[in-house]
A and B are shown apart, each in its own frame.
Chain A
Amino acid sequence: MREVLYYAPTELTEATAILADHRDKAAVLAGGTDLLPKLNYYEVKPHALLYIGRLGLSSIHNGSSALTIGATTTTADLATHHLVQQYAPALAQAARLSGSVAIQNAATIGGNIANASPAADLVVALLALDASVRLLSHSGQRDVHLADFFLGPHLTILQPDELITQIHVPLSPGKTEFLKLGRRKGQTLAVVSVAVRLQLDGDLCHDARIVLGSMAPTPLRCRTAEHLLRGQKITTDLIHQAATQAIAESSPITDQRATAWYRKKAGEALVQRALLQALDKKEVRP
């Protein structure tokens, strides 16, 4: 029988050295909620398992310009942590709506990003908050905007010897909302999800983010729709236009959960709703 090696390093240098040794033959394990189903059903057969839960990467800090979130911070921590609730409420909301309590206790923010599911909940909120990720390898580290990280379903720019160590969420003002539609109410994957952030200057929209989940091969920033709002006075009409534009930028597929037709139709309503509800939200002030 083929040997599978298991590593649970406590030092980052150790972890990156192991990754450099095994390259794409190693599977990185954090909460296990995405990897274990694949292992259980023999969909992946790694030569080595690198458990990164003992690297001390489960923490949330408040820096001068950004929240720094360790890669193995669990979804449950994101949902309940006061700093996330205060400075990134859309992320807390996405965390709260993702999976069940038992999944939230295990699933990590780094895993949600690395798995690169088009339906990932946390990623949609993180994109609306202009988050970036820190990638570490034995030869160095780099910071990458999350918007530049995804290439396709379960495809990213992450190199086989790289590890996500931190997520940076810039502290910036704005009103945000995260909404999600599933096929049922409890424990459900997104049929369509949306995160929005509005930076307002009186009733003028200074800047906007509209991000869709499950509506394209990767979580999608709707840049043309955002542009429609930028510098404009926010009206119900404009919000309707922006929602229509956001959906025009999407390219959803049909699957077990919904058809592309439904995703577009309900997605438009969801974007409108998110924008309208964001206006009523308390403004985040860094």
Chain B
Amino acid sequence: MAYVLHPTGNKGGGDPSHAVIQLKPDGTYVLLIGAMDLGQGAPTILRQVAADALGVPIEKILVSNYDNLLPLSVSTSGSRVTLIDPHAVVNAAEDLKRQIREWFAQQHEANPEDVEIEGETVYVRGDRERTVMTMEQVAMGAAWGGGYEPASLIGRGAWQPGKYHAHDPETGEMPNVGAISFGAALAEVEVDTETGTVDVLRFAQVWEVGKAINPLLVRQQINGGYCIGAGFALTESCYPYFPSVEYAPEKMGDYFMPTFEDYPQQMIFGIEEVPHPNGVQGAKGFSEGSASGPPPAIASAIHDAIGVWITEFPITPEVILRALEAKQAGVES
């Protein structure tokens, strides 16, 4: 069994993200944010966050995140996107709504504070019947002008979890302005003590993620993290490689990623939600942590099975046999 504390975002602060949301002439929105997707679904959850912040259906939001011309999101790393980027998106949405209120007030000779945006309907409070417009009409008016003043309705937002503070050189302390996600991993293994092979029979992993913005994506990251962690634990080796440095893999066939058959007979996953004060709707990142649980969980299950603590990865069959031999030699001496 293993317990994982996974820091999400830069603990010392700094590390901002930026977002832009543009209202298009047809009343849809484009979210521009340089949050690279590696398959983890960043554009999906940011689209969800934008839809919530603007109070519109998700279909109204298009995300563009594949270009270095886009607003900076620093990087897809450190499980930071889910913690940080939603703030930038929410800020951009608020900025856009402020601009919409100002433009709308100008057209109807009203105060911006009196302009009400209810999802895709805009009106002046107290004068709804005369002033009400759909967002599509607002967008069209602002974009094409005509009887209205043209305006570039483009919201901008930036956010970082506090200013950067270096750690104290004396104590190593630093302010924790990010968030920490918590995971537990449980492995059941069978070890063949003659050949050294390890079979992970069942594996369970539970993560506390603040708020699962998209539970299917959270589930994929938990189960996917198993594969990456289990490969690291049992089969995959990078420098100095296995069994030693001169045996670098030459082709893909020399590098041993887990296959379907290496996958456990039973996989159990769980999601716990305790909203985090630093996250939008309490959400925080966790994904890389799901690859951190399997190696120690598998190693401790191996210890439970054969009574030897293995302290190197990958735990190849050879590592197991050598550990068993050393144990035997210790008993005999």
Contact = CB atoms under 8 A, between A and B. Distances in A.
The size bracket of the interface on B is 20 to 34
B253 interface: yes
A197 B259 CA distance: 31
A184 B318 CA distance: 13
A202 interface: no
B293 to A, nearest CB: 20
Interface stretch (A13-21, A51-59, A138-146, A185-193): A185-193
Interface stretch (B126-134, B191-199, B296-304): B191-199
Nearest to A273: B194
B27 interface: no
Residues of A in contact with B, size category: 20 to 34
B243 A259 contact: yes
Interface in B238-275: 241-243, 247-251, 253-254, 256-262
Contact of B254 (A256, A261, A265, A273): A256
Nearest to A259: B243
A262 B321 contact: yes
Given A261-B318, A262-B318, A184 B256 contact: yes
A254 B262 contact: no
B262 A186 contact: yes
Contacts of A261: 318
Give the residue among B250, B316, B318 with the most A Cβ atoms within 10 A.
Answer: B318
A215 B199 CA distance: 24
A186 B258 CA distance: 8
Nearest to B321: A265
B249 A258 contact: no
A184 B235 contact: yes
Nearest to B314: A183
B317 interface: yes
B325 to A, nearest CB: 9
A270 B259 CA distance: 23
Contacts of B258: 184
A186 B259 contact: yes
Nearest to B247: A256
Contacts of B253: 189
Q: Which of B195, B196, B251, B316 has the most CB of A within 10 A?
A: B195
A266 interface: yes
A280 interface: no
Interface in B144-169: none
Contacts of A273: 194
Given A183-B316, A258-B316, A266-B321, 14 more contacts: A183-B235, A184-B235, A184-B256, A185-B199, A191-B317, A254-B243, A256-B241, A256-B248, A256-B250, A259-B318, A261-B318, A262-B196, A262-B318, A266-B317
Interface of B: 194-197, 199, 234-235, 241-243, 247-251, 253-254, 256-262, 316-318, 321
24 contacts: A37-B251, A181-B317, A183-B235, A183-B316, A184-B258, A184-B259, A184-B261, A185-B261, A187-B261, A254-B243, A254-B247, A255-B247, A256-B241, A256-B247, A256-B254, A259-B243, A261-B318, A262-B321, A265-B321, A266-B195, A266-B317, A266-B321, A269-B195, A273-B194
